[in-house]
């Protein structure tokens, strides 16, 4: 059961002028499930993305980078689930290109105007013929108000689709943003998450869009972890169609800031949905590290805590075995950390004070917070002004079941 | 059920002249279990240790370092389970010293001649009065052939005691080595393991002993991981009583090498026992990375694979979902890794060739190996001559159960 994650309602998801979404059941891995998504983007849109830092990056990620660099203007995205097309070598690259070629031919655009995405099992050949055979159906049912179906079409071990919308006023014009994401395991994005797409109808110059996507990724998809496993296929793409008439042509000023905050907030919402639906998750933990010398060391400590199986199982058990958090802070690799300045809070409960147990801490207060479904762990390092926040979930029996059974 | 780990038999554990071991049931955390160990060491012995690199190192670890530096000659060790005396600040230090003081008074030695060790829950005050009250019983039953009882007295979540012995010929004299270890969770030693003790009756000069303990730790306790959590209390201590008449007074030459190999082999055996008895373990995996530029990057990749929850759950399920191994190699942080040169074997089965699936790989071959209780994962990087080996276990339902319940 995901953590406080209501099913998205189709009527709450706003069409974005210039974007149409269509899906197909192509039988990539299993029959009778949506597993192909085609996103059509109006001519003149700008598109920017960030991708996995995994050295074994998947074939579609390599093709995405090529096509974004080609600069011909992106007009379509094609996504398949059921197979990651990663660890597949030259044949994998050829398959990713074949998917782009087929979609381009049917839409009357150039192959370089298509971005391909894949998610699923690694090290197995992509059945690209099935993917291609599914494209006509996906093109035929593409329409602007298909965001919920699009979110369903990119699910793998997700228990429910992830989608959200919002609007922001830019220079008196209403800009609409809608986005979808997927991912529930192999989640410790290190450029972006498994798959995240946000479209908006502002007109945004390409370098400004790149600044937006990087900022949003750093504060959302790049700040979540479920199991510490950075995927081979992480991709986060931002699309700006310009159809609202609002124009953002430089990476500063009030219009840029308003749009940046809206994109970042939507990306955070989508990223947190991934954690709420993390494989086997029963709790959402916000790990906030403050008082660091720089953001890097705050993130380093936050991730050490977020990745500790002992911390994660204690939260699963609602057991305030909080020394495990201090142990993770201690082994995070900040070599000159003075532990006597470290303080720890669980929500409002002051647990550790100046490196030791707070004399006023009572076990029942820790117990009370640990029973909640959403918990903030706040760690103050007492050595500077930097801070960072990471979101994660607990480690439960269901995580083991899901990952011991996935593929079978 | 531990992985191929027979119960040690008391008659196979050899007394080491100059060492006596005694235990008590002191009720540190629970009644009616051995939870205090006293090791008496003959005058003139040399003792060396390596300890955790966790910044939140426990109070007894700090006192061990002080007492080893004091240079008065170590004459006794005192170990308690049930409480780690970590994250306990100044009162914790005072408690560790009080335990040394009490034991020293009863044995007629100086407090600086005692090394204290604790293992158990972090962030809770050590009930040192109970520990002290248990000392007379432990002193009274101390004897040379108590190695099995000693191994039992330091267990926490271990399902069985860990102890082993061997002998080695040095200059025509028989040197006897016996050792014990404990630990089953919070295991990713980064100087040494949770607790490991080896005693031998060679005479070894102090700097030579330090070289021995470091070499042995690097190739044993510092090369295992269960959950990636580096403990606050890791300690590995090597004791040389000299009673055999064999003398090793320099860190080179055939005598040194023979003793180094014997100590390292025994330490490896004890370290692997910890992995075999890892919390919830059903499989022992040997992760061997070769062809690296240096040992550090080989270890970095081996640990990334060994810590991946997705890799560990796949092994638990005996599912050859081996793309997960490549994904972990890819995100391990070796930025200039050329994935097209990476090869992967599972025991004798060649799975990935030049960065992609080996065309000759058959799923049933992978399946056959995955069903074994002991599996070697061999990863060739194709960029140098360095190599490293790490031992780990799988991630099972029982790991979650044990760590969600520990303390309760």
In angstroms, the CA A272 to CA A162 distance is 10
Pairing of strands B36-41, B76-83: antiparallel
For residue A397, the chain B residues in CB contact (below 8 A) are 397, 400-401
For residue A232, the chain B residues in CB contact (below 8 A) are 323, 326-327, 330
Residue found under tokens 């939507």? A266
Residue found under tokens 């090791």? B39
* Closest residue in chain B to residue A305, using alpha carbons only: B229
Interface of A with B in 63-102 (CB under 8 A): 84, 86-92
In angstroms, the CA B10 to CA B164 distance is 10
| Facing A396 at nearest CB: one of B316, B354, B400 | B400
In angstroms, the CA A117 to CA A234 distance is 9
pLDDT at residue B221 greater than cutoff 60:
yes
For residue A396, the chain B residues in CB contact (below 8 A) are 400
Asked if the Cβ–Cβ distance from A405 to B314 is below 8 Å, we say no
Q: What pLDDT does B193 receive?
A: 45
Q: What pLDDT does B151 receive?
A: 94
Q: What pLDDT does A143 receive?
A: 96
pLDDT at residue B279 greater than cutoff 90:
no
Q: What pLDDT does B217 receive?
A: 81
Cβ atoms of residues B281 and B233 within 8 Å? no
B74-88 average pLDDT score: 92
In angstroms, the CA A283 to CA A274 distance is 12
Q: Which residue would you say has higher pLDDT here, A337 or B404?
A: A337
Q: What pLDDT does A294 receive?
A: 95
B194-215 average pLDDT score: 83
Rg, Å, chain B Cα set: 22
Interface of A with B in 114-133 (CB under 8 A): 121-125
Catalytic residues of B: 193
Residues of chain A under the 50 pLDDT cut = 191-193, 408
Cβ atoms of residues B309 and B324 within 8 Å? no
DSSP string, B145-180: T-HHHHHHHT-SS-SS-EEEEEEEEETTEEEEEEEE
Q: What pLDDT does A408 receive?
A: 46
For residue B401, the chain A residues in CB contact (below 8 A) are 397
In angstroms, the CA A362 to CA A41 distance is 57
CB-count burial class (<10 Å; 0-12, 13-18, 19+) for B250: exposed
Q: Which two tokens stand for residue B122?
A: 């972090």
Asked if the Cβ–Cβ distance from A337 to B55 is below 8 Å, we say yes
**Among the listed residues B337, B273, B132, B160, the one whose alpha carbon sits nearest the alpha carbon of residue A53:** B337
Question: At a CB cut-off of 8 Å and minimum separation 6, what does A257 contact?
Answer: none
| Facing B330 at nearest CB: one of A55, A327, A408 | A55
Cβ atoms of residues B47 and B115 within 8 Å? yes
Pairing of strands B36-41, B19-24: antiparallel
Q: Which residue would you say has higher pLDDT here, A194 or B82?
A: B82
Asked if the Cβ–Cβ distance from B186 to A91 is below 8 Å, we say no
Q: How far is B252 from chain A (nearest CA, A)?
A: 32
Cβ atoms of residues B181 and B162 within 8 Å? yes
Q: Which two tokens stand for residue A216?
A: 């949003």
Asked if the Cβ–Cβ distance from A400 to B403 is below 8 Å, we say no
Asked if the Cβ–Cβ distance from B400 to A404 is below 8 Å, we say no
Asked if the Cβ–Cβ distance from A400 to B404 is below 8 Å, we say no
Q: What pLDDT does A225 receive?
A: 76
Cβ atoms of residues B315 and B370 within 8 Å? yes
Interface of A with B in 246-305 (CB under 8 A): none
Residue-range domains of chain A with CATH: 10-276 (3.60.70.12), 284-405 (3.10.20.340)
Beta bridge partners of A41: A19
The overall average pLDDT reported for chain B is 89
Question: At a CB cut-off of 8 Å and minimum separation 6, what does B197 contact?
Answer: B39, B77, B179, B180, B181, B236, B237, B239
Q: What pLDDT does B250 receive?
A: 86
Asked if the Cβ–Cβ distance from A57 to B334 is below 8 Å, we say no
pLDDT in tens, B2-31: 888 888 888 899 999 999 999 999 999 999
Asked if the Cβ–Cβ distance from B309 to A396 is below 8 Å, we say no
Q: Which two tokens stand for residue B183?
A: 């630990």
Q: Residue length, chain B?
A: 408
Q: Does A53 touch chain B (CB under 8 A)?
A: yes
Q: What pLDDT does B194 receive?
A: 61
Using alpha carbons, list the distances in angstroms from residue A364 to A319, A354, A372.
10, 21, 13
* Predicted TM-score (pTM) of this structure: 0.80
Question: At a CB cut-off of 8 Å and minimum separation 6, what does B95 contact?
Answer: B59, B85, B88, B125, B126, B128
B76-81 average pLDDT score: 95
Q: What pLDDT does A87 receive?
A: 84
Annotated active-site residue in A193, A225, A230, A286: A193
DSSP string, B327-383: HHHHHSS-TT--GGG-EEEETTEEEEETTEE-TT--HHHHHHHHTSSEEEEEEE-SS
pLDDT in tens, B226-274: 777 777 777 888 889 988 988 988 888 899 999 988 888 888 888 888 8
Using alpha carbons, list the distances in angstroms from residue A50 to A75, A180, A211, A220, B76.
18, 15, 11, 12, 59
Half-sphere exposure of A110 (CA within 13 A, CB side): 10
* Closest residue in chain B to residue A191, using alpha carbons only: B331
Using alpha carbons, list the distances in angstroms from residue B167 to B39, B200, B201.
21, 9, 10
| Facing A231 at nearest CB: one of B231, B327, B339 | B327
Using alpha carbons, list the distances in angstroms from residue A391 to A135, A140, A158, A189.
36, 39, 17, 12
Using alpha carbons, list the distances in angstroms from residue B172 to A283, B212, B244, B245.
63, 20, 11, 10
Q: How far is B356 from chain A (nearest CA, A)?
A: 5
* Closest residue in chain B to residue A395, using alpha carbons only: B400
Q: What pLDDT does A192 receive?
A: 38
Cβ atoms of residues B283 and B253 within 8 Å? no
Residue found under tokens 């102890």? B163
Could you give the angle at which helices A397-405 and B397-405 cross, rounded to 10 degrees?
170
Cβ atoms of residues A305 and A312 within 8 Å? no
State the count of interchain CB pairs (< 8 A) between A and B.
221
* Closest residue in chain A to residue B363, using alpha carbons only: A124
Question: At a CB cut-off of 8 Å and minimum separation 6, what does A296 contact?
Answer: none
Pairing of strands A46-51, B386-393: unpaired
* Closest residue in chain A to residue B314, using alpha carbons only: A404
CB-count burial class (<10 Å; 0-12, 13-18, 19+) for A175: buried
**Among the listed residues B354, B378, B155, the one whose alpha carbon sits nearest the alpha carbon of residue B273:** B155
Give the max Cα distance, chain B: 71
Asked if the Cβ–Cβ distance from B357 to A88 is below 8 Å, we say yes
């Amino acid at each position: 059961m995901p953590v406080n994650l209501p099913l998205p309602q189709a009527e709450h998801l706003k069409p974005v002028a210039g974007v149409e979404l269509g899906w197909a059941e192509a039988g990539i891995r299993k029959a009778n499930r949506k597993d192909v998504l085609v996103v059509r983007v109006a001519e003149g849109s700008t598109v920017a993305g960030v991708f996995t830092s995994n050295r074994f990056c998947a074939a579609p990620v390599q093709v995405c980078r090529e096509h974004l660099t080609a600069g011909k203007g992106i007009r379509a995205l094609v996504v398949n689930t059921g197979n990651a097309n990663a660890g597949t070598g030259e044949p994998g690259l050829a398959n990713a290109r074949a998917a782009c070629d087929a979609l381009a031919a049917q839409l009357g655009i150039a192959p370089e105007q298509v971005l391909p995405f894949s998610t699923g099992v690694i090290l197995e050949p992509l059945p690209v013929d099935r993917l291609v055979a599914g494209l006509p159906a996906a093109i035929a049912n593409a329409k602007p108000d298909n965001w919920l179906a699009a979110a369903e079409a990119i699910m793998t071990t997700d228990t429910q689709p992830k989608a959200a919308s919002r609007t922001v006023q830019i220079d008196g014009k209403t800009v609409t943003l809608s986005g979808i994401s997927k991912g529930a395991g192999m989640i410790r994005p290190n450029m972006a998450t498994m798959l995240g797409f946000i479209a908006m109808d502002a007109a945004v110059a390409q370098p400004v869009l790149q600044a937006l996507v990087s900022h949003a990724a750093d504060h959302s998809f790049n700040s979540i972890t479920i199991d510490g496993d950075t995927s081979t296929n992480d991709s986060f793409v931002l699309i700006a169609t310009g159809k609202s008439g609002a124009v953002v042509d430089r990476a500063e000023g009030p219009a840029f800031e308003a749009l940046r905050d809206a994109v970042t907030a939507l990306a955070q919402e989508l990223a947190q949905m991934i954690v709420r639906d993390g494989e086997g998750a029963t709790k959402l933990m916000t790990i906030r590290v403050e008082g660091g010398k720089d953001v890097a060391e705050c993130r380093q400590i936050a991730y050490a805590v977020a990745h500790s199986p002992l911390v994660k199982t204690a939260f699963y058990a609602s057991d305030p075995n909080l020394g495990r958090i201090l142990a993770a802070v201690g082994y995070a690799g900040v070599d000159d950390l003075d532990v006597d300045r470290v303080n720890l809070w669980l929500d409002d409960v002051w647990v550790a004070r100046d490196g030791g147990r707070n004399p006023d801490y009572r076990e029942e207060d820790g117990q009370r917070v640990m029973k909640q479904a959403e918990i903030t762990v706040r760690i103050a390092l007492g050595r500077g002004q930097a801070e960072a926040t990471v979101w994660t979930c607990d480690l439960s029996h269901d995580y083991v079941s899901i990952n011991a059974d996935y593929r079978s």
